[in-house]
């Protein structure tokens, strides 16, 4: 008997395992235990026997390397029942028998459903479904982006609804695949594009489908892209059963693309009716205000007329008319008086003029000359009077008794003088008052 | 009541011409309530009415835009969106995504 080295024994075991087809293509039903993800991306588990009642539960080490682990649709957890597929081999360095898995699917619940549940739970924990995170939709969007298949009925439905309800809203379409392997990548690109095109709201829609068809809408990347979109996002994915992750993170969710469109744009006809109602109210409000004021005015007038009888009001009005007439007359009088006064002043002004004054001065001068002449004794002589003086002393004789006989008298006539001698004196008693 | 030095953001004092539909409508409702209350003095009532008319005009102006086209977004070389008119697939295939 040959003594083997450990390595040789391990190699023999490995060869024996590899030679056994059932071990190289093994399906095993098990319960996961001790799940561990290495930093390199490899999964390590224990596969435990899950037959009920067995006291001697078998345990087998299992590994799933990064390359295969990438296809996992769910996160392996302890206690989970799985159907695993792989090949059995020995890991010589640890001396352990392992099954190297290339497929792992949850039992009972489908892998997709489980992945969905897990993603939902995680995002919910992050608070991404919180109502306060939801952005309000614009009331009247000017531009709306639709992220959907270029060829699906979903796009037609959205365009129809928007153009029927609100034709003034511009629609920009960001085309994308909505199912298949490239769907996630394309949806991300389309959302990014819509986010850069100045729009007011984004619709992410597709028609109905099975859970498998809607995978893209359950992807974490799409969920995060919806949240990162700078504009509010309405998700409208038609589906028969469950809600998608996209629905949960959407700012608004709708059961179908058409409903998403209805949520996104208002019904313009309804708005117009609404506005014209308000317009009417405004006019009525204005009228009501005026009517109120008028009522008050009428009431005031009523009080006024109770205080002063109608007749008095009428008389008052006549008085007022008369006063108006008087006022007009007064004004006219005032004006004409002013005018007259002005004329008089003009006359006065002319009277004060230099020519007039010269004439006046001349007249005055003539008057004075006349008066002077009238006072002159010579003028008296001219009228036939004469003056008699005593020739000796030139004394003017006024009383006959003052003159003696024989006195020489000198008598002055208008022209020339007479010398004569007194031959008789007759005092007052004899003759009149006439002098000579 | 506090009266508004700081009310430029409120629908009660902003210029109607710059408002979006919702704000203009809210402002219009404020005008209506004040006017229908009937307690405002003449000058203010005139101002309110005039403002109401401007708000109605603003709102109906927003509703009266031209019918808009449908465009398709594509990424340009710079990653920025380009737009070009989109002709929808014929409707003859019928059916609805909602079905």
Cβ contacts (< 8 Å) between A214 and chain B: which residues? none
Is there a contact between B71 and A152 if contact means CB atoms under 8 Å apart? no
pLDDT of residue A43: 93
- Choose among A258, A267, A262: nearest CA to A157: A258
Query: From the list B35, B88, B97, which residue is nearest A289 (CB)?
Result: B35
Q: Mutation test of the interface with chain A: which of B31, B63, B97, B98, choosing the one with the most A Cβ atoms within 10 A? A: B97
pLDDT in tens, A394-405: 888 888 888 888
Alpha-carbon distance A264 to nearest alpha carbon in chain B (angstroms): 14
3-class SS of residue A384: coil
Q: Where are chain A's structural domains?
A: 6-108, 117-130+140-266, 374-436
Q: What is this model's ipTM?
A: 0.70
Answer whether B20 touches A (CB < 8 Å).
Answer: yes
Alpha-carbon distance B83 to nearest alpha carbon in chain A (angstroms): 8
> In which residue ranges of chain A is pLDDT below 50?
431-436
Compute the count of residue pairs across chains A and B with CB atoms less than 8 Å apart: 146
Whether A87 and A190 have beta carbons less than 8 Å apart is answered as: no
In chain B, the residue whose alpha carbon lies closest to the alpha carbon of A255 is B98
Whether A120 and A108 have beta carbons less than 8 Å apart is answered as: no
pLDDT of residue A115: 76
3-class SS of residue A144: strand
In chain A, the residue whose alpha carbon lies closest to the alpha carbon of B97 is A207
Cβ contacts (< 8 Å) between A174 and chain B: which residues? 72-73, 81
pTM strictly above 0.80: no
Query: From the list A156, A168, A189, which residue is nearest B89 (CB)?
Result: A156
Cβ contacts (< 8 Å) between B27 and chain A: which residues? none
Give the residue ranges of DSSP H helices in A308-411: 310-351, 354-375, 377-382
Q: Mutation test of the interface with chain B: which of A141, A151, A171, A172, choosing the one with the most B Cβ atoms within 10 A? A: A172
pLDDT of residue A147: 95
SS3 letters across A27-92 = EEEEEEEEEEECCCCCEEEEEECCCCCCCCCCEEEEEECHHHHCCCCCCCCCCCEEEEEEEEEEEC
Alpha-carbon distance A74 to nearest alpha carbon in chain B (angstroms): 30
Looking at domain A117-130+140-266, what is its CATH homologous superfamily? Hypothetical protein af1403; domain 2 (3.40.50.10550)
Domain A6-108 has CATH 2.40.50.140: yes
pLDDT in tens, A292-322: 777 777 777 777 666 655 555 555 566 566 6
pLDDT of residue B20: 87
Surface-to-core class of residue A214, CB atoms within 10 Å of its CB (0-12 exposed, 13-18 middle, 19+ buried): buried
Is there a contact between A157 and B96 if contact means CB atoms under 8 Å apart? yes
- CA gap A7, A138 in Å, rounded: 73
Rounded mean pLDDT for each run of 10 residues along chain B, 99 residues in total: 40 78 87 78 80 86 79 81 76 49
């Amino acid at each position: 008997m040959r003594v083997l080295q450990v390595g040789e024994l391990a190699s023999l075991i490995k060869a024996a395992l590899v030679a056994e087809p059932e071990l190289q293509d093994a399906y095993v039903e098990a319960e996961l235990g001790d799940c561990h993800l290495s930093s390199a991306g490899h999964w390590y588990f224990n596969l435990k026997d899950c037959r009920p009642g067995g006291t001697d539960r078998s345990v087998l080490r299992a590994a799933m390397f990064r390359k295969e682990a990438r296809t996992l649709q769910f996160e392996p957890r302890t206690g989970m029942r799985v159907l695993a597929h792989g090949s059995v081999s020995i890991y010589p360095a640890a001396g352990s028998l392992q099954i190297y898995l290339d497929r792992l699917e949850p039992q009972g619940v489908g892998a997709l459903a489980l992945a969905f549940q897990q993603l939902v739970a995680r995002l919910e924990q992050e608070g991404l479904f919180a109502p306060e995170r939801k952005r309000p939709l614009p009331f009247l969007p000017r531009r709306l982006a639709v992220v959907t298949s270029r060829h699906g009925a979903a796009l037609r439905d959205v365009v129809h609804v928007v153009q029927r309800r609100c034709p003034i809203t511009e629609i920009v379409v960001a085309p994308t695949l909505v199912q298949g392997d490239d769907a996630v990548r394309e949806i991300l690109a389309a959302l990014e594009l819509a986010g850069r095109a100045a729009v007011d709201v984004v619709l992410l829609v597709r028609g109905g489908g099975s859970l498998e068809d809607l995978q893209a809408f359950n992807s974490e990347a799409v969920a995060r892209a919806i949240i990162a979109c700078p504009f509010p996002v309405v998700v409208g994915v038609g589906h028969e059963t469950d809600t998608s992750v996209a629905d949960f993170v959407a700012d608004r969710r709708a059961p179908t693309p058409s409903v998403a469109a209805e949520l996104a744009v208002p019904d313009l006809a309804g708005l117009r009716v609404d506005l014209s109602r308000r317009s009417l109210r405004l006019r009525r409000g204005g009228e009501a205000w005026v009517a109120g004021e008028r009522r008050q005015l009428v009431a005031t007038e009523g009080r006024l007329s109770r205080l002063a009888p109608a007749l008095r009001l009428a008389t008052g009005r006549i008085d007022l008319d008369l006063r108006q007439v008087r006022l007009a007359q007064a004004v006219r009088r005032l004006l004409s008086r002013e005018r007259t006064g002005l004329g008089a002043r003009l006359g006065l002004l002319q009277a004060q003029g230099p020519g007039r004054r010269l004439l006046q001065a001349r007249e005055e001068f003539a008057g004075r000359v006349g008066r002077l002449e009238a006072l002159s004794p010579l003028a008296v002589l001219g009228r036939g009077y004469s003056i008699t003086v005593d020739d000796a002393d030139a004394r003017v004789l006024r009383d006959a008794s003052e003159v003696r006989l024989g006195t020489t008298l000198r008598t002055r006539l208008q022209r020339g003088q007479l010398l004569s001698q007194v031959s008789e004196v007759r005092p007052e008693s004899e003759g009149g008052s006439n002098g000579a | 009541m506090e009266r508004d030095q700081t009310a430029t953001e409120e629908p009660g004092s902003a210029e109607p011409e710059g408002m979006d539909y919702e704000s203009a409508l809210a402002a219009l409702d404020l005008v209506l309530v004040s006017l229908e209350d009937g307690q405002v003095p003449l000058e203010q009532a005139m101002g309110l009415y005039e403002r109401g008319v401007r708000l109605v005009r603003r709102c109906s102006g927003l509703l009266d835009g031209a019918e808009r086209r449908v465009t398709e977004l594509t990424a340009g070389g710079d990653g920025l969106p380009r737009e070009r008119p989109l002709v929808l697939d014929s409707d003859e295939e019928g059916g609805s995504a909602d079905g």
